Structure 1
Amino acid sequence: MQVRGALIKDGGLDRRLRVEWLLVVSIAMLLTFLLSCFSHNFALHRLDHLLYGQTLALATRPPPEEVVIVVLDDDSIDELGQWPLRRAVHAELLARLHLAKAVGLDFVFRDASPAYPQDESILAQAMSRHGRVVLPLVVDDGRVLWPRPILAQAAAGLGIINAHLGPDSVVRAMKPYWQTAQGKVDHFVVAMLDVAGHDSKAQQLRAGDETPRLMSFVGGPGSFKMYPYARVLDDSVPSEAFEGKLVLVGAWASALGDALSVPLSGTGEPMSGVEILANGLHNALGQHWIRTPHFLVTALLSTLPVLMVCIALRRLSPRRSLLVILGLVVLIFIAHWVLMRYFHVWIGPSAALLGIMLAYPLWSWRLQEAALKQVDAELDSLYAQHLMHFQALPQDDIAVRHSLPHRLVRLHQAMGMVRQAIGLREEALRFLSHDMRSPQNTILALVQLQRRSRSPKDQMQLLDRIERSACRTLRLVDGFVRLARAESMELNLNEIDLAGLLQSVCDEQWPMAHHRNITISVEGVERPAFTMADEDQLRRALGNLVTNAIQYSPQDGRIWCRLRGQGSEWVIEIEDKGRGMTADQISRLFHPFRRFDAEVPDNPAGIGLGLALVRAVVLRHGGRISVESQPGQGSTFRVSLPVFGSGAATPR
C-alpha cells in the first residue's frame, strides 16, 4: 500500500498512461504492419479489391480517341444473317478499315471453314493488302493455340488474348507476355502497339517482368467509341472515321464472345473481352498502368495513419479523438483517390483502416484500466490510512468488485466521502476556532479580571468558574478525539455477545436513570447474539444512545432496550418517550457539532459529537443506523449489525 501511495505522490498515473500509450502504439502499428504484409492470409485482399473498384470508378478518365471498336452486335447479326460470319465478310470489313493505323480482329480462326473453303484465302489476301492486322492467340493448358497457318502468315502481328483473372474471377490486370512451351509470347495489346508503330511503348512492356499490370478503366461497358459491324460494311460509317486509329473488332452481341467481370462491374453488366483489350491499349498508350509499391513500403505507409490516430488519442478528448479518426478515414479515401487519379498508384487501405479501428478501442480499454487501477490505488491508500469507511461501499464477490460499474459506484461514493470529509474539516475548524477558544478565553478573562480588579472575587468562586471552563474544554477535546478514533483507528475485532453487551451497557447507565427515576427495560437478551466487533467502541456507541435516551426522557419515564434477530442481522432498538424530533432535525441528526433546541432551558449539556460517534462506529462494523421519531412522542434508534457466521461481509 505504501508503494501505491508513493506512485500517486510521484505522478505514477502519468507514467502509467505513458507506458500504456507506448504499448498501444506498438501493438496497433505492429498489427497493422502484419495485416498489410499478410493481407491474403487474413482475407483483407477482398476488402482491398472492393475499395479498389470503388476508387477506380471515381478515378475514370475519358476514353482515348485513338482507340475505337467495331462491334458485332445483335442488330448486325440479324442483318448479316448467320454466325459465325463468313471469313469473306471479315475481308470486306478490312477493306473499309484500310485507313486504320492497326486493326485487331478479336476472333479466333482456329478451325477451317469447310462450307466456304475459299473464304480463308480471301481473308488472308485482305489481311496482306491491309498490312496492319493482328490476330489473337489462345493459351490452353500451357499450349498456344494458333490460327489457321495461312491466316497466321498473313497477319502483321499475333498476340495472346487470355484474360488474367484474379482469385475472385475479376479482371484487374493484364500480363504483358506469357511464358509458354514455345517461349515468350506477347499479349495482343503489345502486338497491336508493334503493328501501329508504337515500338517504344511495346518495348517497355516487354522489358518488364511477367507480373500482371493493373489496369485503369475508362468506364463501364460501352465507354469507348463503338461502330456497329453492319454499319461499317454498308458504308454508313465513312472510312475516314478510322483514319489513324487503332481499331478493335469483336463480338458484343448477347451470348456471343466472352463477358468478364471487371472492378467497375460490381453487380452490373460484365464487360466484353474486346472492351477489356481496348482498356489495355488505353493504359499502354497513355502509361496509365496502376503501380503498387513494394509490400514492405505499403505496410510502413499503412502504419502512418495508425500512428496519427494514437497521437490524437493521447492528446485529445475522446469526442475530439473520434472526430479526428472520422476525418482521417475520409482523408485516407481522398488520398487514395488522388494517388490513383493523378499518380496511378494504388496502396491497399484495408490494413490501415483496420489498424485505426483497433487502436481506438484498444486505447480506450487500456486508458480505462489504467485510470481505474489508479482509482483503486487511491481508494486503497485512503482506506489504509483509515480516512474512509470500507463498509460504506458495496461488498460483492471479486469478479463484480473489479467490474466497471462497481468501480464507478465505489469512486462515486468515495467522492461523496471526500466531500463529506471536507465539510467535516470545515466544521472542525469552526469548532476549534469557536467552541474550543470560548472556554479558554473565559479562563483568561477571569485571570485578567482577578489581577486588575480593585475588588478581587472570592478565590473559591474564581476557581469554581475556571474549573467549569476547563472541564468544558476537556469534554470538547475528549469528544473530538473519540470521534476521530472511531472514524480512523483500526478496530480490534473479536467475537462478542450483543445480548451480554447490551445488558452491561444498561447496567452501567442505571445510576443516571435511577437519579431521574427512569426505568430501563431490557428485552430479548435471553439467548446469545454473536457478532464480530470492537467491544470498547461498540460499548461506547450503545452507551451514548442509552445516555441520550435518559437525558431526553421526562422525569419518571421509561426506556426500552430490545435485541432481536432479523435475517442475517441483529437489530438493537433504543426507544424513549421524550420530546421527539422533526423530519428536518432527523436529517441533520448524525452530523458532528449539531445540537437542537439549544435555547430550551432544561436542554441537556453536550457538544454534538455523541451521535456522530455512534454512526461512525456502526458503519465501520458493517452495520446500519436509523431513527424514527415524532415531536412529543419520543424516538426509536435502531442499530443493525451482521450476525457472526451468517456469510455477511466481515467488518474492518
Structure 2
Amino acid sequence: MPRSAGRTDANFWGGLERRIRAEWLLATLAMMLFTMALSYFSDSIGFSRLNHAFYDKTLAAAVHAVDSKDIVIVAIDDGSIDQIGYWPWRRSVHAQLLARLGQARAVGLDLVFSEVNPAYPQDDEQLAQAVRHHGKVVLPLVLDEAGGSALAPLAPLAGAARQMGYINIYPDEDGVIRSLTLERTLASGEKVEHFVIALMRATHEPAQPAAPRQAGSAPLLLPYAGTPGHFTIYPYAQVLNGQIPESDFKGKYVLVGSWGSGLGDAFPTPLSRQGESMSGVEILANGLQSALRRHWISSPGRWQTALLSTLPVLLICLVLRRLSPRRSFLLAMAVLFLVFAASWLLMRYASVWIPVTASLVGTLLAYPVWSWRSQEAALQHIDRELQALSAEQPAVGNALSPGEPSRRDGSLSARVTHLHSAIAQLRHAQRKREETLQFLSHDMRAPQNSILALTQLQDQAESAMPQAELLRRIDRYAHKTLGLVDGFVQLARAEAAGLRNEALDLVELVELGCDDFWAQARQRHIRIVIAEHPDAAWIRGDEALLRRAWCNLVDNAIKYSPDHSEIHCRIVRDRNDWLAIIRDQGRGISAAQQATLFTPFIRANEDKPGNPSGVGLGLALVMAVATRHGGSIQVNSGLDRGTEFVLRLPARQ
C-alpha cells in the first residue's frame, strides 16, 4: 500500500494542532516576557514620557472636585501689588497680615525670609513678634539643588516659628509637577519634613502620609482637587484691609503665597490646559489636602507593575488562538479600550495608577505576532505536507499547469497559489478515481457480461448459435474490452505521467501521423491533403504523447468522413504558438455536442445507426496532452458543415 494511503486527515490536523499549540505557547510566553521587560525598564528606554502623558490624561478625566473648606489661600496677586506697592513688601506688612489671621488653625507663609532687609532692620523683629504671638505659623526652608543643605529663615524668625518645612517641589523630567516628597535627608544625615507636614504638626495633626509603601522619602502622587483656582482664594490686599472678615479664617489652614503673573512661582500640572500653570502655593494646598485626608495616588512597585502589565497580553493571547482573524482584530481593539477603561476606573475609584504604555504596546503587538506565527506555522505545515505528497504522487509536484506562471518565493500569495494548485490536482485525482470506478463498474463489465451471457446461451440447446457466429461475437466484445483498456491507460498516462521535454518538429510529427493512416484512408478512397507548410515548426514536449494525440485527430477525421472525401491538414504560426489544423468533410458536430466533446466516456450520437465504434477517450486524451504541454485544442464545427480541430502548442523559444 502506498504511504499516502496511510496519511489521514486526523494525522494532518493533529500535527497542525500540535504545531499551532506550540507556537501559541511560545508566542504567549515571548509576548509576556517582552511586555514585562518593557514595563520594568520603561524609564531606561524612554517610556516614562508616554506613561506621564497617559497619567495626565487619565487623571484629568478621573478627577472629581473635592470640597476644600478647611484650606484657604491668601494670594499675593497683581491687584494686591497694585494697591500695596512694589514687591517685595516690607516684612511689617506681613506682620499686619498675621494679626488678621489670628483665628486660623495654622498659617503657612510660602515666603522666603533668609536675608536681612538693611533698609528696615526693625521689620524682622516685628515680624518675629507677630509670628510668636500667633503661635501657629509655619515658615519655609529651601533646599539646595542637590538637597544636601537647607536654607533657613533668619534666626529671629526661625526661633519664633511653630514649625518649619521645606517648600521644594520636584518636577518630572518633562517639567510637570505630579508628586510631592514629604521627607528628605540632608548631607549631614538630618531628616527634614515637607512644608505640608510641618503645617499638620503645628496643629498636632497626625502627620503620616497614609500611603504605607510610599512613606518616607519616596515621591507621592498628588490627587489634585481640581483645576487651578479650585481652592478658596482671597487677595492679600483685601485681607490686609479688613475687607475679608477674620471669621472666614476660623479653624482653617491658611497658605500665603504669590499668585501674580510676574512672580514666577507657577508650574505645569497634569490638569494644566493650553499652557495654564498652577501657582506653587496652590500645589502646596493640594499636598496639604492630600495629607489631611490621608489620600494619595498609589502606584505598585516596578516588579508588581511589570507583572500587572502582562495581564492584558495574557488575556488576548488566551482567546486569540480560538478566534478568526477578524474577531481577533476586534478583540485586540476591545482589549486596548479595556486597558484605558480599567486605568480610568482604578484612578477614579481606587486612586491607583498602573503605567499602561507597556500593556498597550504588548497588546498592540500580540495580534500581529500571533497572526505571523500561526500563519507561518500553518503554511510551513502545509508546505511539508505538499512536499510529502509530491514525493508520493509526482503529479502533484507538477500541480501548476505549464501555461500557468509558477512563483517560487515564500510569500503568502505564492504559497496559497501552490496549495490551491495542489488541491485542484487532488480534486482532479479524486474525479479520475470516480471515473475509474465508473469505468470498471460499467464500461469494462458490459462486454464481459455480454461474453458470459453468450456462453450461458450456448449451454442451452434451444438458444445455441453456430460456432462461427459465437466466435465472431466474442471476438468483437474482446476487442472492445481491449480498446477500453488501451484508451484508458493512454489517457491516464497523458494526464499523470512525467513528460519528456525534447525539441520536436511539428511538421515532421504531423506528416508521420498522417502516413500512419494512409492505408486506412485509401480503403475508403479518402484523400489526406497536407497544405503548404513551413520547413520546420519547432516545439518542445513528449513526442509519443503528441504523436498519439495527433493520430487520434486523424483517426476521428477518417471515421467520421464520408467515402471519396478529403481531409485537409495545415500548420501555421500564430504569434508565439504553432497551430496544427485538421479539417474533414463529415457530418459535423452540433453546439450541444461540442459542450461534452472532450469529456471521457461520452460519445456523440453513440446509439445512432452507422456511428463509428469507439470508447469516448480519444478526444479526452488530446485535451489532456494539449493542456499538459501548455497548449489547447479547439473545435470549429456545425451540423453538415464538417469539423475542424485546431491543436495549439507553444513555439520553442
TM-score between the two structures when normalised by the length of structure 2? 0.89
Q: Aligned Cα RMSD in Å? A: 3.0
Which residue, 602, 605, 609 being the options, matches 1:597? 605
Structure 1 match to 2:142 = 138
Tell me the equivalent position of 1:649: none
Structure 1 letter corresponding to 2:325: P
For the 8 Å contact 1:4–1:381, the answer to whether it is kept is no
- The letter of the residue matching 1:274 is V
Taking the aligned partners of 1:559 and 1:196, their CA distance within structure 2 comes to 124
Would you say the 8 A contact 2:255–2:285 is kept in 1? Answer: yes
1:171 to 171, 177, 189: 177
Deviates more, 1:578-587 or 1:269-278: 578-587
49, 64, 70: which one pairs with 1:66? 70
Asked if the contact 1:580–1:632 (Cα under 8 Å) also holds between the matched residues in 2, the reply is yes
- Aligned counterparts of 1:478 and 1:579: Cα–Cα separation in 2: 27
**Matched AA of 1:637:** F
The question of 1:42 aligning with 2:73 is answered no
In the other structure, the counterpart of 1:469 is 477
> Deviation per CA, 1:304-324, whole angstroms, max 9, x where unpaired?
221221121112222332333
What one-letter code is carried by the residue in structure 1 that aligns with 2:51? D
Q: What amino acid sits opposite 1:210 in the alignment?
A: S
Deviation, 1:222, is 1.5
Whether 1:392 and 2:401 are equivalent positions in the alignment is yes
Segment of structure 1 superposing worse, 197-206 or 324-333:
197-206
2:634 partner SS? strand
In structure 2, relative to structure 1, the CA distance for the partners of 1:565 and 1:404 (3 Å cut) is farther
- 1:228 is aligned, of 229, 235, 240, to 235
CA distance in 2, matches of 1:110, 1:595: 116
Greater mean alpha carbon deviation, residues 464-473 or residues 59-68? 59-68
Whole-angstrom distance in 1 between the partners of 2:114 and 2:469 = 139
Aligned partner of 1:272 among 254, 265, 279: 279
Change (3 A) 1:224 1:461: same
* Deviations 1:592-628 (CA, angstroms, capped at 9, x unpaired): 2222233443332222211222222233334333344
2:223 to 211, 216, 222: 216
Aligned equivalent of 1:365, options 368, 372, 381: 372
Task: Give the match for residue 436 of structure 1.
Answer: 444
Among 93, 98, 101, the alignment partner of 1:97 is 101
Note the C-alpha offset of 1:473.
2.2
What number of residue pairs does the alignment pair up? 643
**What's the secondary structure of 2:455's corresponding residue?**
helix
Give the SS at the match of 1:392.
coil
Whether 1:451 aligns to 2:459 is: yes
Alignment of 1:629-648 (within 5 A): 629-644=637-652, 646=653
Instruction: Trace 1:392-411 onto structure 2 (pairs within 5 A).
Output: 392=401, 394-399=404-409, 402-411=410-419
Q: Does the 8 Å CA contact 2:138/2:198 hold for their aligned counterparts?
A: yes
AA of the residue aligned to 1:156 = R
Deviations 1:468-503 (A, max 9, x none): 222222222222222222222233444443333222
Identity of aligned residues (%): 49
> Cα offset for 1:256?
2.6
- The answer to whether the 8 A contact 1:494-1:533 is kept is yes
SS at match of 1:166: coil
Asked if 1 retains the 8 angstrom alpha-carbon contact of 2:502 and 2:541, the reply is yes
C-alpha distance in 1, partners of 2:35/2:57? 22
Alignment of 1:594-633 (within 5 A): 594-633=602-641
Please state whether the residue corresponding to 1:171 is helix, strand or coil: coil
What's the CA shift for 1:584? 4.3
Worse-superposed segment, 608-617 or 366-375: 366-375
2:491 paired residue number: 483
Within 5 A, what are the aligned runs for 1:527-606?
527-566=535-574, 568-606=576-614
Could you say which residue in structure 2 is the equivalent of 1:110? Answer: 114
- Residue 104 of structure 1, CA deviation: 0.9
1:510 aligns with 2:518: yes
1: CA distance, partners of 2:389 / 2:595: 27
Q: CA deviation at 1:565?
A: 4.8
Tell me if the contact between 1:57 and 1:264 (Cα under 8 Å) persists in the aligned partners: yes
Match of 1:650 in 2: none
Pair 305,245 (structure 1): closer, same or farther in 2 beyond 3 Å? same
Q: Distance in 1 between matches of 2:453 and 2:247?
A: 127
- Give the match's secondary structure for 2:529: strand
SS at 1:364 equivalent: helix
Map of 1:161 onto structure 2: 167
Post-superposition Cα deviations, 1:547-582, rounded to whole Å, max 9, x if no partner, equal 223223343333333344555544433333444444
**SS state at 1:164 partner:** coil
Report if the CA contact (8 A) 2:400-2:406 is conserved: no
How far, CA to CA, are the matches of 1:524 and 1:193 in structure 2? Answer: 117
SS in 2 for 1:264: coil
C-alpha displacement of 1:274: 0.9
Equivalence for 1:499 = 507
CA change 1:595–1:32 in 2 (3 A) is: same
Q: Could you report, residue by residue, the CA deviation over 1:108-159 in whole angstroms, capped at 9, with x for unpaired residues?
A: 2234444544333222211111111112222344453333333222222222
SS at match of 1:185: strand
1:327 to partner: Cα distance: 2.6
Tell me the distance in 2 between the aligned counterparts of 1:251 and 1:602: 120
**Corresponding position of 1:129:** 133
Match of 2:156 among 134, 150, 154: 150
Match of 1:33 in 2: 36
1:263 matched to 2:267: no
Gaps of 5+ in 2: none
Return the offset for 1:202: 6.6
Deviations along 1:280-327, one digit per CA (max 9) or x if unpaired, are 112222232223222122212222221221121112222332333233
Displacement of 1:206 in angstroms is: 13
Structure 2: distance between partners of 1:591 and 1:380: 31
